[in-house]
Chain A
Amino acid sequence: MNPSIEQLGDSAALIVWRSLDHSAAWLQVQNAAACLDRNRIEGIVATAPAFKSLTVYYDCQILTWTDIVKWIEEKLPSPSQPFQIPRREIEIPVCYDEEFALDLISVASIHDLSPDEVIQLLSNATYVVQMIGFSPGFPYLAGLPIQLHAPRRAAPRIQVPSGSVAIGGEQAGIYSCSTPGGWNIVGRTPVRLFDPQRNPPCLLQTGDRIRFGRMDRRQFDDYAEQP
């Protein structure tokens, strides 16, 4: 199925696979992102994959809309083209100390679970990074067990501490920076997901498989003190 190509302002094009289901669309996005990135021409500024869409940013001083649509249509891989997503497996240690796990009890109560059962379920699952977005390095994670789905908080917090592991609807995520946020916070990792001085700056990339390890408060503090 061919995606639609829509104008996103005067300097970006949105390629979107609206009619495909989530996982089929996601694969097309990854494939298209890799393919278009390999075939960049002058005037293409950046590409950014999302769940069911890929944004191509261009310089409208150099390329017109006709140019950009032509380039996308020419370079877009055929939907049947086999595609392997590079997969890495990464464990993220999480501390569920009550100082960090601000919403652990409320998430547990939604499904009549004990906090420890929530932690067990979180730790036994494997997650896939669907996209990086919202704030620098923030991973949207698919694979949250259905028993842990929890609606976003009615009023977002003004400041969610960086490293907070959180549940928003059917997704999990990790706040990579201190930002406002409405997801339910169940723990915190001392691992830095985004460090602009590091190369690459993001620890995680789309397609990575994630597991949550468990650490106690002392291990957290020791880890956090490492330079």
Chain B
Amino acid sequence: MNRLRILRAGLCSTVQDLGRPSFRDLGVPVGGAMDHVSHELANRLVGNPANAATIENTLTGDEIEFAKDSLIAITGAAMTPVLHCTGADPQPVAQNRPVSIPAGSRLCLQSARRGCRSYLAIAGGINVPVVLESRSTVLHASFGGHQGRMLAAGDDLPIGVLSSSNTEVLAYLSTLGQFVHPRWFVRTMDLPNSDVATLRIISATHTAQLMQSARTLLSESEFRISSQSDRMGYRLVDQPLELEQRQELHSEGAVPGTIQLPRDGNPILLMADCAPTGGYPRIGHVISADLSLAAQLRPGQLVRFQMVTLEQAQHCCRHQQQCLTKALAMVELISR
């Protein structure tokens, strides 16, 4: 069986797929890739199904050794990947396209120049055991992924068996000659730069209970993503918000994208690994179509919120999937 070895691990590298949407009644988070769009794109570029497991790198990337000839794609944050092959000069690896990697070579991902999270898909998928219908790592509950934890130097990850769509992509790349990747690439989402990012939100149960001044702040001011931010959620600071009345709530449902308001007034934007319930007032929800963008924001970055309707949010969600589907149909046309 093919394997890859982690020689050096980035800040928070985990195995992720599309998560566990159907175990929320057990308190299990949805989890999965923070940036679904980049995760799915990476998979489809190498001919994997959307739900195959990839490696999610956060802010800094891994150094990986490939035991055999492999087919990979790197998407999401720009991590300046470099390939070291025996007997050749190191060469930069382009992102957002399929790349064939010779056996024995080392791939180095560096610090993210832009964006926060990159996804490395490999033909066949990372074949760690399926736990509760998914290969995603749940860090705080220590299960799934590779031994329920972040990747570390020395870890060997098994690779799944290639399917016919994987070998079609490989056959296409071999027609390009020695060059390991095509000139074309696919980009379905612009990575955030250092400017203020805009996330679209829809109203939530307690939005109307914000003080008038807080409602204005929510829609007009900028919030800073604090360094206390991870896969469970982002703390948003600099603009504390107040409710007209403080209330004690029973725990109610929460979803990735929910903006909670704890007592100190600094909102928390819940992300992929959030608990399925929460006891804080909900003052908004980032729309599903903007969660991938949110996943690419870094601590320290500024965000503002733009209110849209539920209908617009659901339209954006369908539109995002259609764009991805269209782009991938083009890829298939070229590469198979």
Contact = CB atoms under 8 A, between A and B. Distances in A.
Interface of A: 6-12, 14, 16, 22, 33, 45-55, 57, 60-61, 64-65, 131-138, 140, 176-179, 194, 196-197, 200-202
Contacts of A194: 26-27, 141
Contacts of B23: 46, 136, 201
Nearest to B131: A196
Nearest to A59: B21
Q: Which of A6, A48, A52 has the most CB of B within 10 A?
A: A48
B250 A14 contact: no
A84 B205 CA distance: 31
Contact of B27 (A7, A45, A133): A133
A136 B204 contact: no
A7 B288 CA distance: 13
Contacts of B314: 10, 60, 64-65
Interface in B169-212: 202, 204-205
A64 B29 CA distance: 24
B22 interface: yes
B86 interface: no
Counting contact residues on chain B (CB < 8 A from A), the size range is 35 or more
B220 interface: no
Nearest to A22: B250
B250 A51 contact: yes
A197 B141 CA distance: 13
Contacts of B285: 7-10
A45 B276 CA distance: 13
A135 B277 CA distance: 9
A53 B143 CA distance: 28
A12 B205 CA distance: 13
Q: Is the interface of B mostly helix, strand, loop or mixed?
A: mixed
Q: Which of B22, B29, B250, B318 has the most CB of A within 10 A?
A: B250
B317 A10 contact: yes
A179 B232 CA distance: 12
B252 A14 contact: yes
A193 to B, nearest CB: 10
B277 A12 contact: no
A61 B320 CA distance: 10
A131 B250 CA distance: 11
Contacts of B144: 196
B36 to A, nearest CB: 12
Contacts of A45: 21-22
Contacts of B286: 9
Contacts of B25: 33, 46-49, 132
B310 interface: yes
Interface in B119-143: 131-132, 138, 140-143
7 contacts: A7-B204, A10-B202, A53-B250, A135-B140, A136-B27, A196-B141, A202-B26
A48 B253 contact: yes
Q: Which of A8, A45, A179, A194 has the most CB of B within 10 A?
A: A8
Given A60-B318, A177-B141, A50 B253 contact: yes
A47 B23 CA distance: 9
A137 B251 CA distance: 15
